[in-house]
Amino acid sequence: MRIPTPRRRWVVVVVVLVLVTVATVRFLDRPNPIAFYRVIDQQRIGLETSAGPGSWTRVTSVVETASSVTVIVSTIEISFGPGADERTFVEATATLNSPLGDRVVIDGSSGQTLRRAPSPWPPQLGPQQTP
């Protein structure tokens, strides 16, 4: 059974649009440097990174060994107009298969060992302290 010609054209147009959309999203998806991490509980860590407005930030890779946890946080950013360069800290949560313990956490995009933030995060300021 043959599909009529006008319908075939629409199918081709839709397939091309889907392929272009997927290629664009893959092009805009980039690893984001991680500033530091904090321990949420034994098997979850919060990874602090910066992102612009209108971005989608998430954990894209977690590789665990006996001595380290290597994580990659990726961001898709689509920014237009004024304020596109403004960045804020965002937290992405990684769930581990086994407790963190004394393993080191490594940023998979740079290979750098991450520093651990104090708990609780953010630190609570007392009445005499100022930021």
> What is d(CA 115, CA 131) in angstroms, rounded to the nearest whole number?
21
Q: Give percent above pLDDT 70 in the chain.
A: 80
> What is d(CA 72, CA 43) in angstroms, rounded to the nearest whole number?
17
**What's the number of domains the chain is made of?**
1
Whether 25 maps to a domain, the answer reads no
Q: What is the mean pLDDT of the chain?
A: 82
Per-residue pLDDT at 104: 95
Domain coverage including residue 90: 30-107
Sheet (strand 34-41) strand order: 34-41, 44-51, 88-95
Determine the 3-state secondary structure of 43 from DSSP: coil
Judge contact between 19 and 100, C-beta under 8 A. Answer: no
Judge contact between 53 and 76, C-beta under 8 A. Answer: no
Whether 59 maps to a domain, the answer reads yes
Whether 22 maps to a domain, the answer reads no
Per-residue pLDDT at 83: 59
Whether 14 maps to a domain, the answer reads no
Residue-wise pLDDT tens digits, 9-56? 888 888 889 888 888 777 778 888 999 999 988 899 999 998 887 788
pTM over 0.85: no
Whether 49 maps to a domain, the answer reads yes
